[in-house]
Amino acid sequence: MQAAWPRRVVVAPDSFKGSASAREVAEAIARGLSRAMPGLSVETVPMADGGEGTVEALVEATGGRYVTETVTGPLGEPVEARFGMLGDGQTAVIEMAAASGLPLVPASRRNPLVTTTYGTGQLMRAALDAGATRILIGIGGSATVDGGAGMAQALGARLLDDEGQPIDFGGGALHRLARIDLSSIDPRLRSTTILVACDVRNPLVGPEGAAAVFGPQKGATPAMVRTLDDNLRHLAAVIRRDLGVDVADLAGAGAAGGLGAGLVAFCGARLQPGVELVIQAVGLERRLQGADLAVTGEGSLDRQTPFGKTPAGVGRLARRLGIPAIALVGAIGEGVDDAVLDACGLDSVFSIVPGPMPLDEAIRGAHRLLEQAAWRLGRWLSRRPPRTEVAAHELP
């Protein structure tokens, strides 16, 4: 008699925003599968796509630790922010929003002419102090449009005006920049690999740039947008002249109000899709080796999921390795069809909600709904023929 299939499952979901962390989602799915299939080998790998929850997912997945620092917030006031040191003891993971994020600024005080990324630079310096030789930075959710100038200043870069004095914080001061002096920048940066989770392709300046596209959500009026775009264009020109790096039209340079550009120019960082960065950091390819099935998930799967979301990253990797993949999600968006699932590398997707239910009730009950959905999936799997007799497209 052939052994039952699957024997080993890797559960690699993102968080369900507002309901459950990636770790909690993974554990709920694992409980449901194990209840349906006693003896099943289940490995949980909390995931993220570089946005909110990335630090927690990577620390949990690698057995790392958290470090909390008091840094300069986007308005220049002190804030408590934390970053993660991963289990290898050499990799730090930072969410810039922890130090320079929009939720740290009351709606009535949102003004990207004055908000700064200085605190993000302080977290980077703290990571270097903690022994990091590799820094992963998620740059979503910023309150800033300063082109990463504050971040650079925190790391020792001197951004000087015509009189040789440091310029003020904020995107509104960039027009005063006359010269960049990196002689005092932290020397440890030269031997540190900096990878940036960046899922937007926007350039630094122009109609698709940092100010025009992202400035209004950070409090910029139309007049402010014009000022900020001009100032970022000036910053790019000085960077090109003094540092020999052209960031004006670089895809992704406009992310986080131009922080993408600043990290490339001042720190030699590389921009890459967030979910790919996380997949590498947690060693997901190695963990999938020998698995019979991958189960992923997120709060919602829709037509945007193929563009950098966790289920697509996990599904594509699983497909490349010849492993079927299924997603358990809170909601399946309108228009999800064969093309969307194929683009995500997924064999199928199931909603964890068994019937009509108020949204707040589904959010409150996410842990229970996830476990029940995984149990139903496990019962179906346990009654199928062995994997050798089941083609991937025959999954439900």
Q: Where are the alpha helices (DSSP H) in 86-145?
A: 97-100, 118-129
The whole-angstrom separation of Cα 58 and Cα 51 is: 12
Q: Can you give the residue ranges of every domain in the chain? A: 8-46+292-394, 54-275
Q: Give pTM, 2 decimals.
A: 0.85
- Residue 272's pLDDT is 93
Rounded Cα gap, residues 25 and 43, in angstroms: 13
Note whether 139 and 259 are within 8 A (CB): yes
End-to-end CA distance of the chain: 24
List the pLDDT tens digit at each of the 396 positions of the chain: 345 679 999 999 999 988 899 999 999 999 999 999 999 999 999 999 888 889 998 998 899 999 999 999 999 999 999 999 999 999 999 999 999 999 999 999 999 999 999 999 999 999 999 999 999 999 988 999 999 999 999 999 999 999 999 999 999 999 999 999 999 999 999 999 999 998 888 999 999 999 999 999 999 999 999 999 999 999 999 999 999 999 999 999 999 999 999 999 999 999 999 999 999 999 999 999 999 999 999 999 999 899 889 999 999 999 999 999 999 999 999 999 999 999 999 999 999 998 887 888 888 889 999 999 999 999 999 887 655 444 444 444
Partners of 10 in beta bridges: 43, 294
Contact yes or no for 122/76 (Cβ under 8 A)? no
Please state which of the four CATH numbers 3.40.50.720, 3.40.50.300, 3.40.190.10, 3.90.1510.10 is assigned to the domain occupying 54-275. 3.90.1510.10
Alpha helices in 11-90 (DSSP H): 22-36, 54-62
Among 129, 132, 147, residue whose Cα is nearest residue 89: 132
* Alpha-helix runs per DSSP H in 144-273: 149-154, 222-243, 255-267
List the CATH code of the domain at 8-46+292-394. Answer: 3.40.50.10350
The Cα 56–Cα 50 span in angstroms is: 11
Query: Which residues sit opposite 68 in a β-bridge?
Result: 82
Tokens matching residue 28: 């709920």
194 secondary structure, DSSP code = E
The two tokens of residue 287 are: 């963990």
Please give the pLDDT value at position 386.
55
